[in-house]
Amino acid sequence: MKVVTYLSDENKELERTKEENTGYIRMKKFKFIMLLFCVIFLTAGITTAAFALGDKKAVNVNNRPEFDKLYQAYDDIKANYYQNVKSQTLIDGAINGMVESLNDPFSDYMTKSEASQFHDTISSSFEGIGAEVQEKDGYIVVIAPIKGSPAEKAGLKPNDKILAVNGKNIQGMSANQAILLIRGKKGTKVTLTIQRAGAKDQSKLTITRDTIPVQTVYPEMLKNGVAKIQITTFSDGTYKELQKAIDQMKKKGMKSLIIDVRQNPGGLLDQAIKIANLFVPEGKTILQVEDRNGKIQKYVAEDGTKIKVPTVVLIDGGSASASEILAGALHESAGIPLVGVKSYGKGTVQTAIDFKDGSNLKYTVQKWLTPNGEWIHKKGIQPQYKVNLPDYANLPVIDANTTLKRSSVSSAVKAAEQMLKALGYHPGKVDGYFDAQTEEAVKAFQADEKLKVTGVLKGDTTNKLIAKVSELITKNDTQLKKAESVVKKEK
């Protein structure tokens, strides 16, 4: 049996392996990419050194009376069930039941076949739709889409519930099971049934899988020497990417800095610690970890290069895990303001065990705390300056494969009317009814975008409409504008 301590459920991560009967401990790197394209970033972990694993003592099950009922149930089912049942099926079910009883979305069990399929898909390519999900209250919920991914382009948002995949109901499935259905090869399509947070209506969204961008840092020089650097995830090379980005911005005259971790679902903690170390003064706490007995270990900033220009951090509901560790460290230990809306709230650490038969068990072992000792799990981090995006940034998704035309009535029509209105067109009453005014607004939009003028919303017209609204959100980024204002005051 192999025991693995997770730093993160994303990209390359360090693992501690303990081979039983030898006591041999070794360190290695391995890829564990869990997005909806093949990657899902659900765990913010801690460096392996924090979790030295003691020797595992063999359990003598013959002297464990608490297992008597389990053995009796197993024997009775094997002997009397009306169909033959494989022993492994019952064993997998028993372990899965124990994990489910924890009621922890970050603890999971994969059977040999599930683990094999999962790892085969992971190691093959960076392809899929590009979003992070988790199981929450029986639903598969989006934490964040990846920048530039098909999921982002299609309009998938944090807190969207995925109810079905290609018509298959996935309620009650684990995140791993859902991911195996959602991801796939580049060029193939997957249809998701989506319910937006706070909405009653459902909508279908067909997404074409693609290669997911591997770049994680995006620098941009704004006005008056204000540099904005977006970090989309904490991957193996993110720290080095950030160093290069900072050097680029310095050459362009950087006088102040905005770190944007909105929609960043987390990743490798060692990268978050290295980045935090650029801003947190030596000796100050970056984060703390606490075990089940209340024992706390602190991680403090070390000496080294420090970024001393005025800085602000942007966060939102898609900022999770390692993003929250970075935001908490910079705010509490370096006095850096946070702008945006409340972060996601992921404050636990997981360990995984790979069994000899190829199955895998992952479960929560610790929680992490901010420098001030706050546990932000399920609460998130509140920004110092709360700023919402415009209402049209949270509109329901529209499936480009659905035909919306004269006399159509649906929530998708209402969303289209709201989009058209936000772009300056006049669709008439925003009520979900595709009337003559809506048709004329669509025609005007098609003419302006040099599309075939039909008055029908489908395919290229729908995709272009979504793209233009996305551009409008970027142009009217109220959170970024507030961050620019705040960082100027910090000088």
The answer to whether residues 402 and 458 touch, using CB atoms and an 8 Å cutoff, is yes
Nearest Cα neighbor of 332 from 313, 308, 305 is: 313
Structure tokens at 74: 């197993």
* Annotation says 15 is catalytic: no
CB atoms < 10 A from the CB of 287, how many? 27
Nearest Cα neighbor of 439 from 408, 405, 397 is: 405
Alpha-carbon distance of 130 to 120, in angstroms, equals: 18
- Give me the catalytic one of 274, 346, 362, 482: 346
Phi, psi of 299 (to 5 degrees): -115, 120
Paired strand residues for 24: 19
The answer to whether residues 361 and 352 touch, using CB atoms and an 8 Å cutoff, is yes
What DSSP string describes 423-446? TT---SS-SSB--HHHHHHHHHHH
Alpha-carbon distance of 97 to 77, in angstroms, equals: 16
Angle at 126 between CA 151 and CA 168, to 5 degrees: 50
Largest CA distance in the chain: 79
* Annotation says 332 is catalytic: yes
* Annotation says 157 is catalytic: no
Nearest Cα neighbor of 265 from 332, 323, 181, 333 is: 323
CB atoms < 10 A from the CB of 271, how many? 28
- Give me the catalytic one of 8, 235, 256, 321: 321
> How many Cα atoms within 13 Å fall on the side-chain side of residue 188?
11
- Give me the catalytic one of 10, 132, 135, 332: 332
Do the strands 296-300 and 285-290 form a parallel or antiparallel pair, or are they unpaired?
antiparallel
Alpha-carbon distance of 342 to 17, in angstroms, equals: 37
Paired strand residues for 457: 404
Phi, psi of 362 (to 5 degrees): -125, 135
The answer to whether residues 255 and 225 touch, using CB atoms and an 8 Å cutoff, is yes
> Known catalytic residues?
321, 332, 346
